[in-house]
């Protein structure tokens, strides 16, 4: 009986070692794939507005910190960006579940909350705890109980699978340190046929008064989106400074 017990312990230990080895191989493979996906720029060559990292030919910009929250709530934003036109183009319906990725202070979340009505939801995600606290406070001040603030990570929006009708990123995507991984997590959260909307300052227009690294061309947006199971739906060009590029999940 003692010999049988010793054999069982030995088998269990061998199985544990095997599982640890497999996990290490999988993790190593994932790390190598992630490393190959991105290119680090040589010292001294990076744009000071960037993070020293390139993806699909584009240098990734730095993130606007929570200290810049006042810029998101500036009075002139409505006139400069025409959020009213954006809201009309989104064509949100009561009962929809929408995700505001990189929601910041919740400027757009608060406007979408009214469009999806009390029976809809706005899942407002940000990676900065300070931003999440601010957007929660501002939503509560407006009595918008259908805004659900949450904290994501640099690689994962952490939303439930197949629950979102429409996800939107307003001047956010170009700042993602891990755009491929974040996109994968957003697509998991979308329902089949769900929409993913990019709002980015137009790199094609030199008159848009935004730093170059904080702009993206429509061609670059499409290039990066179409490596995922997404189909381009339309591009709306009626905003003063930005593209609205819309995709659907396959």
The reply to whether 44 and 165 lie within a common domain is: no
What's the pLDDT at 206? 96
Terminal alpha carbon distance of the chain = 58
Strand 97-101 and strand 230-236: the pairing is: unpaired
Q: Which of 33-37, 158-162, 199-203, 226-230 has the lowest mean pLDDT?
A: 33-37
Structural domain of 31: 2-55
The reply to whether 38 and 68 lie within a common domain is: no
What's the pLDDT at 31? 43
118, pLDDT greater than 80 = yes
The reply to whether 86 and 197 lie within a common domain is: yes
Mean pLDDT of the chain: 90
- Between 188 and 20, the more confident residue is 188
* Residue 10, H or E segment: helix 2-37
The reply to whether 85 and 27 lie within a common domain is: no
Give the pLDDT confidence of 159-179 residue by residue, as tens digits. Answer: 999 999 999 999 999 999 999
What's the pLDDT at 36? 87
Q: Which of 34, 55, 76 finishes a domain?
A: 55
The reply to whether 188 and 136 lie within a common domain is: yes
What's the pLDDT at 7? 57
DSSP 31-80: HHHHHHH-EEPPTT-S-TTEEEEEETTEEEEPPPPGGGHHHHT-TTHHHH
What's the pLDDT at 22? 44
The reply to whether 148 and 83 lie within a common domain is: yes
Beta bridge partners of 58: 55
Q: How many domains does the chain have?
A: 2
% the chain with pLDDT above 90: 82
- Average pLDDT in the 54-67 region? 95
The enclosing domain of 75 has a CATH number of: 3.40.50.150
The reply to whether 41 and 164 lie within a common domain is: no
Give the pLDDT confidence of 192-210 residue by residue, as tens digits. Answer: 999 999 999 999 999 999 9
Q: How far apart are CA 168 and CA 90, in angstroms?
A: 10
What's the pLDDT at 155? 98
Nearest to 53 by CA among 41, 71, 69, 35: 41
21 pLDDT band, cuts 50/70/90, is: very low
What's the pLDDT at 68? 86
The reply to whether 111 and 202 lie within a common domain is: yes
The reply to whether 144 and 167 lie within a common domain is: yes
The reply to whether 33 and 140 lie within a common domain is: no
The reply to whether 114 and 208 lie within a common domain is: yes
The reply to whether 16 and 40 lie within a common domain is: yes
What's the pLDDT at 96? 98
28 pLDDT band, cuts 50/70/90, is: very low
What's the pLDDT at 26? 33
5 pLDDT band, cuts 50/70/90, is: very low
Q: How far apart are CA 112 and CA 122, in angstroms?
A: 7
Give the pLDDT confidence of 63-90 residue by residue, as tens digits. Answer: 998 988 999 999 999 999 999 999 999 9
10, pLDDT greater than 70 = no
Q: Are 154 and 177 in contact (CB under 8 A)?
A: yes
% the chain with pLDDT above 70: 86
* Residue 124, H or E segment: strand 121-126
């Amino acid at each position: 009986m003692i010999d049988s017990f010793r054999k069982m312990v030995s088998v269990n230990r061998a199985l544990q070692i095997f599982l640890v080895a497999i996990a290490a191989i999988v993790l190593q493979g994932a790390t190598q794939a992630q490393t190959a996906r991105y290119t680090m720029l040589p010292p001294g060559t990076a744009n000071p507005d960037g993070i020293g990292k390139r993806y699909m030919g584009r240098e990734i910009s730095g993130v606007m910190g929570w200290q810049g929250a006042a810029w998101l709530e500036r009075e002139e934003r409505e006139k400069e960006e025409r959020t009213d036109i954006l809201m009309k183009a989104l064509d949100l319906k009561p009962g929809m579940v929408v995700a505001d990725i990189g929601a910041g202070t919740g400027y757009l979340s608060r406007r979408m909350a009214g469009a999806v009505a009390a029976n809809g939801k706005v899942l407002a995600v940000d990676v900065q705890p300070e931003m999440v606290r601010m957007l929660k406070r501002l939503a509560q001040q407006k009595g918008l109980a259908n805004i659900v603030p949450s904290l994501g990570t640099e690689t994962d929006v952490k939303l439930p699978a197949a629950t979102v009708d429409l996800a939107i990123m307003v001047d956010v995507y170009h700042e993602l340190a891990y755009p491929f991984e974040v996109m994968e997590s957003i697509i998991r959260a979308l329902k089949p046929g769900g929409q993913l909307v990019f709002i980015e300052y137009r790199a094609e227009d030199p008159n848009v008064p935004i730093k170059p690294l904080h702009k993206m061309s429509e061609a670059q947006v499409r290039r990066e989106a179409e490596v995922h199971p997404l189909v381009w739906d339309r591009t709306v060009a009626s905003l003063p400074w930005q593209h609205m590029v819309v995709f659907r999940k396959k």
